[in-house]
Amino acid sequence: MELFAMGDYGPYVWSCYLLTLIVVVISTVQGKRRHQQISDQVTRQLKLKEPGE
């Protein structure tokens, strides 16, 4: 446990690392979500055109 206390600076150090993890996760998820959204949107629009051809 003492290892985690980081000599009184614990909250500062750990909040930074946690924040980094959160930012990386959010930006990754955001990117994947958007890709899925675009993929779905484009697929839908292509399917709409199909019957007419």
Partner 1 sequence: MWKFIHKLASPPHFYDLAAKIIPWFAVVALALIAYGAVAGLFLAPADYQQGDAFRIIYVHVPAAYLSMLAYSIMAISAGIGLIWRMKLAHAVAAGAAPLGAWFTFLALATGSIWGRPMWGTWWEWGDPRLTSELIMLFLYFGYMALRAAIDDTAKADRASAVLALVGAVNVPIIHFSVEWWSSLHQGPTLVREGGPAIEPAMLYPLLAMIVGFSFLFGALLLSRVRTEVLYRERRARWVRNLLLPSGESA
Binding stretches for partner 1 (CB under 8 A):
3, 6-10, 12-13, 15-17, 19-20, 23-24, 26-28, 30-32, 34-35, 38-40, 42-43, 45-47, 50
Report DSSP state, residue 52: G
Query: Smallest gap, in angstroms, from Cβ of residue 30 to partner 1?
Result: 8
* Distance, CA of 33 to CA of 30 (rounded, Å): 5
CA distance 33 to 37: 6
Cβ atoms 22, 12 nearer than 8 A: no
CB of 2 to partner 1, least distance (A): 11
Closest distance to partner 1 from the beta carbon of 52 (Å): 14
